[in-house]
C-alpha cells in the first residue's frame, strides 16, 4: 500500500480522471497498473465465499484491509468498495445463474461493480426515479434512462463493469414500492458493448481520481436481480448498508492518515522558545482530539463489521438476530458520525500544519477536500439521522436501543466511570423523549435527529474507550482519559437540541 497505492493519492488529485470523446474514461497515471496488482494479490476477494473464489474470511477482516486501502488512497478505494457492495447484493439476492455468471470475476476484481440510483430528479428521494425497464422476449429487459453521479461508472482499470441499476417496470406502483433492480454489464457475454455510455464526468471538490459519471442507458440489456420485480429498494438496501459501513470507514481512514501527517509535522516544526510545536498545549490538544476520536471510530466501525458477521454466521437464530439488530442500529451511526468526524479531524490536521496545511504540496488539504463527500453520498448524514430515529429506534418498540443503553450503563458502573454513567443517562432521556414524542409527530423526532445521532456516537465512543482503557497500554489509557473527561460530557449538552421539537425550528419560518 505505502509503496504503490499511497503515492498515487497526490497524482490522482492533480491529474484526475479524464473523459474522452468516445465515452471512455482514463484514470490517472499508475492507476491501471496498481489495480492490476491489487487484483493479482487477491485483496478484493478476502471476505467472500470460496465457492466464488473468495478467501472466506470474516467481514471484519475485509473491513480492516479496506481501512488500510482507504487511508492510502480514498479515490482509488472506491472501485473495490463499490464492487464489494455489488457482490454482497448479488450474493444475497441474485439467482443462482446470476451468481455463477457474475460473481467469480467480480470477487477476483477482474470486473468492478457500480451502484446506479441517482437521477437528476431523484437524489435523497430515490422513489422519484424515472429510468424504465421493458421486458424482452428472451427473459431479459431493456433499460432506458439517465443516471447521474455514478462513481466508477466508466473507467479503464477492469475488463468489464457490472452496473446495478434501479428502474421501473411497466405498471409499477409509484414511489419506492415500484422500484426494481437490474444487472446491466458494460460488455455482454458475446463480447459486444451494451447500450450504456458515459456521457460526461463531474469536476469536483475532491476524490478527483474517482470518475463521477453521467450514464446514458439507451435500451441496454439487463437482467432483473433475483427475477422478481418491485423488490429493488430492499435489494439495494443490502448494497447500501454494506456501502454505508465502508463510507463510515473512510472517515476513520482519512482521520488516521491526516493524524499521521499532523503528528509527524508537529514533531519537526519549531516555533516558540525553540520548541517543536508538539510541545505546546494547544497543539497537543488538537492531536489528542484527533487521536482519541480515531480510537473511538475504529472500535465502532469494527464492532459494526463484527455485528454483520454475527448476523450471518451466528451459532443460532437468537445470536444471528442479535447481530442483525446491532448491525442495523449501528450502520447509520457509523456512516454519519464517522464521516462528520472525518471532516472535522482532517480540518484539525490542517490547522496543526499552520500555513503549510493550506499549501497543496503538504498533501493535508487534500484529505479535507476528499473526505467532504462522505457526509453526502450513500444517503446524506441528515438522511442517516432520520433512518436512526424513524427506522432503527422503533425496532422492538425501542427495546434494541434501551437494552444497549442498559449494557453501557452496567459497564460504566462496573468500571466506575461517572462521565459515562452521566452521558448514557442523557442519551436515555433523549431516547425516551423521541419514543414518546416522535411517534405522535415525526417532525419532532426529525428536528432532533442529527443531534441525537451525534449524541449516540459520542456515547458509544466513550463506552468503547472506557473498555480499551482497562486493557490497553498507557498511551491508550491517556487517549481514553482525554475523551472521557473532555469529549463525552458534550453528549449531555446535545439534549436540549434533541428534545426541542419542530416548533423551535418552525417558529423562525413562521415569523419570516
Ligand X SMILES: Cc1cc2nc3c(=O)[nH]c(=O)nc-3n(C[C@H](O)[C@H](O)[C@H](O)COP(=O)(O)OP(=O)(O)OC[C@H]3O[C@@H](n4cnc5c(N)ncnc54)[C@H](O)[C@@H]3O)c2cc1C
Report the interface residues with ligand X, using CB under 6 A: 115-118, 123-124, 149-151, 204, 212, 373, 376-377, 379-380, 382-383
d(CA 346, CA 39): 30
Output 107 or 386, the one with its CB closest to ligand X. 386
d(CA 104, CA 160): 13
DSSP string, 227-247: G-TT-HHHHHHHHHHHHHHHH
The least distance separating ligand X from the CB of residue 158, rounded to whole angstroms, comes to: 15
499 close to 430: Cβ distance less than 8 angstroms = yes
Pick from 141, 26, 48, 38: nearest CA to 102 = 48
28 close to 11: Cβ distance less than 8 angstroms = yes
Output 68 or 376, the one with its CB closest to ligand X. 376
Pick from 27, 126, 7: nearest CA to 73 = 7
Q: Could you give the dihedral angle defined by the CA atoms of residues 296, 298, 301 and 306, in that order, rounded to the nearest 10 degrees?
A: -110
Residue nearest to ligand X (CB): 123
| Secondary structure string (H, E, C) spanning 24-55 | CEECCCCHHHHHHHHHHCCHHHCCCCHHHCCC
Pick from 466, 497, 453: nearest CA to 335 = 453
Residue 51: count other Cβ atoms within 10 Å of its Cβ.
13
Output 5 or 161, the one with its CB closest to ligand X. 161
Residue 447: partners with Cβ closer than 8 Å, 6 or more residues away: 500, 501, 502, 504, 505
163 close to 85: Cβ distance less than 8 angstroms = no
Output 107 or 373, the one with its CB closest to ligand X. 373
d(CA 204, CA 161): 23
At residue 43, φ and ψ (nearest 5 deg) are -65, -40
Residue 105: count other Cβ atoms within 10 Å of its Cβ.
17
Output 52 or 149, the one with its CB closest to ligand X. 149
Output 212 or 250, the one with its CB closest to ligand X. 212
The least distance separating ligand X from the CB of residue 176, rounded to whole angstroms, comes to: 12
130 close to 147: Cβ distance less than 8 angstroms = no
Please provide the size of the chain in residues: 512
At residue 57, φ and ψ (nearest 5 deg) are -85, 160
Output 102 or 149, the one with its CB closest to ligand X. 149
412 close to 465: Cβ distance less than 8 angstroms = no
Pairing of strands 18-19, 132-135: unpaired
Nine-digit cell string for 503: 416548533
Intra-chain end-to-end CA distance of the chain, in Å: 54
Output 106 or 311, the one with its CB closest to ligand X. 106
Output 154 or 309, the one with its CB closest to ligand X. 154
Output 383 or 480, the one with its CB closest to ligand X. 383
The least distance separating ligand X from the CB of residue 210, rounded to whole angstroms, comes to: 7
Listed in sequence order, the DSSP H helices in 31-145 are: 31-40, 59-72, 74-93, 96-108
Q: Show the beta-strand stretches assigned E in 414-466.
A: none
- Residues designated as active site: 378
β-pair partners for 217: 145, 196
Crossing angle between the packed helical segments 74-93 and 8-15, to the nearest 10 degrees: 90
Amino acid at each position: 500500500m505505502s509503496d504503490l497505492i499511497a503515492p498515487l493519492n497526490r497524482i490522482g488529485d492533480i491529474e484526475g480522471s479524464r473523459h474522452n470523446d468516445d465515452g471512455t474514461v482514463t484514470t490517472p497515471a499508475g492507476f491501471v497498473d496498481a489495480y492490476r496488482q491489487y487484483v493479482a494479490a487477491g485483496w478484493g476477494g478476502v471476505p467472500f465465499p470460496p465457492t466464488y473464489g473468495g478467501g472466506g474470511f470474516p467481514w471484519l477482516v475485509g473491513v480492516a484491509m479496506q481501512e488500510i486501502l482507504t487511508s492510502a488512497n480514498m479515490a482509488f478505494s472506491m472501485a473495490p468498495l463499490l464492487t464489494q457492495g455489488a457482490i454482497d447484493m448479488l450474493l444475497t439476492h441474485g439467482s443462482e445463474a446470476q451468481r455463477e455468471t457474475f460473481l467469480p470475476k467480480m470477487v477476483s476484481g477482474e470486473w468492478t461493480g457500480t451502484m446506479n440510483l441517482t437521477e437528476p430528479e431523484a437524489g435523497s428521494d430515490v422513489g422519484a426515479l424515472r429510468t424504465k425497464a421493458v421486458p424482452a422476449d428472451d427473459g431479459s429487459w431493456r433499460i432506458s434512462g439517465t443516471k447521474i453521479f455514478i462513481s466508477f461508472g466508466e473507467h479503464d482499470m477492469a475488463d468489464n463493469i457490472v452496473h446495478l441499476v434501479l428502474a421501473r417496470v411497466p405498471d409499477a406502483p409509484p414511489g419506492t414500492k415500484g422500484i426494481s433492480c437490474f444487472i446491466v454489464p458494460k460488455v455482454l457475454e458475446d463480447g459486444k458493448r451494451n447500450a450504456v455510455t458515459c456521457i460526461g464526468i463531474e469536476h469536483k471538490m475532491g476524490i478527483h481520481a474517482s470518475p463521477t459519471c453521467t450514464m446514458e442507458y439507451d435500451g441496454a440489456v439487463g437482467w432483473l436481480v433475483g427475477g422478481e420485480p418491485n423488490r429493488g429498494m430492499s435489494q439495494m438496501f443490502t448494497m447500501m448498508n454494506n456501502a454505508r459501513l465502508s463510507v463510515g470507514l473512510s472517515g476513520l481512514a482519512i482521520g488516521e492518515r491526516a493524524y499521521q501527517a499532523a503528528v509527524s509535522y508537529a514533531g519537526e516544526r519549531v516555533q516558540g522558545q525553540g520548541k517543536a510545536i508538539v510541545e505546546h498545549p494547544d497543539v497537543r490538544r488538537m492531536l489528542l482530539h484527533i487521536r482519541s476520536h480515531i480510537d473511538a471510530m475504529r472500535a465502532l466501525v469494527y464492532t459494526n463489521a463484527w455485528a454483520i458477521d454475527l448476523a450471518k454466521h451466528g451459532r443460532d437464530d437468537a445470536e444471528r438476530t442479535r447481530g442483525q439488530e446491532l448491525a442495523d442500529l449501528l450502520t447509520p451511526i457509523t456512516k454519519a458520525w464517522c464521516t462528520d468526524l472525518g471532516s472535522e479531524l482532517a480540518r484539525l490536521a490542517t490547522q496543526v500544519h499552520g500555513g503549510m496545511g493550506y499549501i497543496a504540496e503538504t498533501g493535508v488539504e487534500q484529505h479535507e477536500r476528499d473526505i467532504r463527500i462522505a457526509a453526502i453520498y450513500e444517503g446524506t448524514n441528515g438522511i442517516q439521522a432520520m433512518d436512526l430515529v424513524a427506522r432503527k429506534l422503533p425496532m422492538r418498540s425501542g427495546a434494541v436501543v434501551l437494552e444497549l443503553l442498559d449494557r453501557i450503563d452496567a459497564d460504566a458502573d462496573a468500571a466506575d466511570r461517572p462521565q459515562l454513567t452521566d452521558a448514557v443517562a442523557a442519551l436515555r432521556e433523549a431516547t425516551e423523549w423521541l419514543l414518546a414524542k416522535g411517534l405522535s409527530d415525526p417532525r419532532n423526532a426529525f428536528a432532533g435527529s442529527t443531534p441525537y445521532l451525534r449524541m449516540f456516537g459520542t456515547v458509544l465512543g466513550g463506552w468503547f474507550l472506557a473498555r480499551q482503557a482497562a486493557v490497553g497500554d498507557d498511551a491508550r489509557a491517556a487517549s481514553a482519559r482525554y475523551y472521557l473527561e473532555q469529549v463525552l460530557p458534550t453528549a449531555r449538552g446535545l439534549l436540549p437540541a434533541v428534545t426541542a421539537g419542530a416548533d423551535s425550528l418552525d417558529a423562525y419560518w413562521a415569523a419570516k
